[in-house]
Structure 1
Amino acid sequence: MSSFQFSPENEPEEIDSVTLTDDEGRTLECYVENALEAEDGTYLLLMPVDIPVVILAWDDQAEEEEEDSNAILLEDKSEIEGIFPDAKAVLAELDLTLKFTAFTLTVQGELPPIEDDGILTLELDTDDKPLDSEELQFLASFYHQDQKYSIYTPLAPLLFLAKYNLLGEVSLVSPDDARMQPILEELLFDEME
């Protein structure tokens, strides 16, 4: 879970950013994109201040450009820690600073312009959703122990749903929870207006 404490004189509608903290003490600074008052607290739609990134490991048997190549999204913390110095160094060449933040890796700096040939559509096959796709912008590639890795940033914004309770704490809430669907829809609809 994540938590956030702030002074009681702040009202939820006056908050413009919060800091989420994961179980390991890593933090992620987020803007409050939208807020919705409810009986059990205030629900917040949050977007990271820095730019989220993902690291993909490429199948040794296939080249990245081939249509049938397989990319594996790195989610294992120890594997990310092992390649983190190399990833940080290759992004520093683009004047981007890689951060090991809570819930997602992020970079600080100005992204290069989007190029059509640098966009990858990643098919995500999860237990919850059979096949979902996400478009990613290529940033850099590097090798670590003969394994090719690439760093991408999602083109769609990464949003978090959180709840600010009556005790002054902010915690993440699962957007997949059926009870949260109407709240999430209202937060997103208000955000688009």
Structure 2
Amino acid sequence: MSVSDEQGRSLPCYVEHQFEMNGVEYAVLLPVNIPVDLVTWSADDDSEDEEADLATEEEIDQVFETAKAVLAEQDLLLQRTALTLTVVGEIPELDEAIEALNRTESDDDEEELLCLANFYEGEQEYGLYVPIDPMLVLARINADAKPELLTDAELDELEPLLPSIESLIAEQLFNGFE
């Protein structure tokens, strides 16, 4: 099953959970391939610390081919998909990172990330990172039984339910790694 964005890009997904609310059918989807964040590094003017920010769509457009070539050196295929960049290929360190996260209880709200690569485009440093926590996509199921991305209003309505849905799905996913 795939979900598409306004640009016509699709994201192949597995259906992890379906539920109905107010007569509308929803699905929690998990991307088939590995989601990747492209981050930019910028130096803070007041200190020597660098700060990471998610790359904008324009920045992704500018460096996508370079990022793709950098990951190709690791036998990974970077794809421009709906909602996120994804990678196809074997990342052995990812399984180890997920297992380590399962063994430790963390109260931090910080997202755990696995660095795949860093590279420069001109003077700008970029990094490609895999979030260790699974990326879940909430979608509405239309009359043709196809998933559609939610509007901001729908997301606002469902937001109070998200923590319980995410914990249920995460528990099911992590149990599969034990």
Pairwise TM-score range, normalised by the shorter structure: 0.7 to 0.9
3-state SS in 1 of match to 2:110: strand
Match of 1:82, SS? Answer: helix
> Cα gap change, 1:67/1:28 in structure 2, threshold over 3 Å: closer, same or farther?
farther
Q: What is the CA–CA distance in structure 2 between the aligned matches of 1:136 and 1:166, rounded to whole Å?
A: 37
Instruction: Give the letter for the 1:83 counterpart.
Output: V
Normalised to the residue count of structure 1, the TM-score between the two structures is: 0.70
Residue 111 (structure 2) aligns with? 134
| 1:43–1:61 Cα change, 3 Å | closer
By how many angstroms is 1:81 displaced? 1.1
Aligned length: 157
1:103 and 2:83 equivalent?
Answer: yes
**C-alpha distance 168-112 of structure 1, shift in aligned 2 (>3 A):** closer
Q: Which residue of 2 aligns with 1:34?
A: 17
Greater helix content: 2
- The aligned counterpart of 2:2 is 19
User: C-alpha distance in 1, partners of 2:25/2:48?
Assistant: 45
Say whether the 8 Å CA contact 1:35–1:187 is kept in structure 2. Answer: no
* Cα distance between partner residues in 1 of 2:44 and 2:158: 44
Provide the TM-score with structure 2 as the length reference: 0.75
Relative to structure 1, the CA distance from residue 134 to residue 185 in structure 2 (aligned partners, 3 Å threshold; closer, same or farther) is closer
Q: Tell me which of 141, 156, 178 is aligned to 1:177.
A: 156
- Are 1:36 and 1:187, in contact at CA under 8 Å, matched by a contact in 2? no
The Cα of 1:61 is off from its aligned counterpart by 6.4
Is 1:44 matched up with 2:32? Answer: no
Cα deviation for residue 106 of structure 1 reads 0.5
AA matched with 2:114: Q
Q: Report which stretch shifted further, 93-102 or 29-38.
A: 29-38
% identical aligned pairs: 41
Once residues 71 and 125 of structure 2 are traced to their aligned partners in structure 1, the CA distance between those partners, rounded to angstroms, is 15
Choose the corresponding residue for 1:69, options 50, 55, 76.
50
Question: In the alignment, residue 53 of structure 2 is paired with which amino acid?
Answer: I
DSSP 3-state at the match of 2:93: coil
Cα deviation per residue 1:3-41 (whole Å; 9 max; x = unaligned)?
A: xxxxxxxxxxxxxxx211110111100110111134523
Structure 1 runs not aligned, ≥5 long = 1-17, 117-131
Displacement after TM superposition at 1:185 (Å) = 5.2
> Which residue of structure 2 aligns with residue 89 of structure 1?
69
The correspondence for 2:36, drawn from 53, 76, 86, is: 53
Partner of 2:138: 161
